[in-house]
Amino acid sequence: MSYDDYRDGKPLIVTAALTGGVHGKEANPNVPETPAEVAEAAAAAEDAGASILHLHAREDSGERAFSTERFQELTEAVRAATDDVVIQHSTGGTAAPDALRAEPLRTDPAPDMASLDMGPLNRYDHLTSENTRALVDALHEEMQARGIKPELEVFNGGHLNESLRIWDELDEPPYVNLVFGGGTTTIPSPRNLLNMVANVPDGAEFNVLAFGPHQLPLTTMGILLGGHVRVGLEDNLYYAKGEQAESNAQLVERTVRIAEELGRPVASTAEARKILNL
């Protein structure tokens, strides 16, 4: 993946992260929480140009849920509301007991993809995740057994190093999600994005995820560098400074518009599946 890929018109995969597992309507009333709300947001994001939907489940209270049953209910609602999007479940461990981390992998049918955190994460005062090698390996083994493609969550350069431990076990092409923000994620700057992209091994596809005000500039850079991008209310509650985003679709629409202005086509779901070898 490189600037040459952008120049050659390689299709851009857009992921929409619809709700997350930390903030809710108290932070932005447009954050979807119930299966019905997430399904409605999913359909709108698909119509706007997203081909992958990154999903977190919630309890009735709005708190994050980890059980297979909750993910099953959510996924069925999303599949019923959409045409053929790629379903990606979160196994992210912020405040999640390790014993429950594989639950999102056990729906029927299995999700097309799932996130796989590649090392420790600390973003909040009381929420942290160790993501030990033993846990990473166990989650990866379950993904392999169920035919689920992992998205390698690379929060910093050390996590890219960690991903090399399992590189030979990954189906081609490996999919690497480069994360920029606070805590133990990579410091968000254009230079750091260029450095991280330069270190992604040949043959991999990479995605750019940046939190808050860094989402727009760094995902735009990702488009120009031949990578793929993730946007949505999980990562960014605002459309502009002081202006809360109205919906996930609004953020997807802007990304699609920028890509088209830059001359890069946006991947259909069929094209995304082909690029990722799903």
Instruction: Specify the pLDDT at position 122.
Output: 86
Mean pLDDT of 46-60: 97
Side-chain-side CA neighbours of 193 within 13 Å: the count stands at 28
**Taking 90 as the threshold, does the pLDDT of residue 185 lie above it?**
yes
User: In this predicted structure, what is the pLDDT of residue 128?
Assistant: 80
User: What pLDDT is attached to residue 93?
Assistant: 64
Q: What is the pLDDT of residue 92?
A: 87
What average pLDDT does the segment 174-187 reach? 96
Compute the average pLDDT of residues 163-172: 96
**Residue, of 126 and 278, whose pLDDT is higher:** 278
pLDDT at site 2: 85
Q: Say what the pLDDT of residue 21 is.
A: 86
Is the per-residue pLDDT at 53 higher than 90?
Answer: yes
pLDDT at 95: 66
Q: What is the pLDDT of residue 96?
A: 74
Q: Tell me the per-residue pLDDT of 226-268, one tens digit each, with 9 for 90 and over.
A: 999 999 999 999 999 999 999 999 999 999 999 999 999 999 9
Write down the mean pLDDT value for the chain. 96
Mean pLDDT of 86-100: 86
Band the pLDDT of 1: cuts 50, 70, 90.
low
Position 97 scores a pLDDT of: 82
Give the model's confidence band at 124: pLDDT under 50 very low, under 70 low, under 90 confident, else very high: confident
Per-residue pLDDT, 49: 98
How confident is the model over 7-43, as pLDDT tens digits? 999 999 999 999 998 899 999 999 999 999 999 999 9
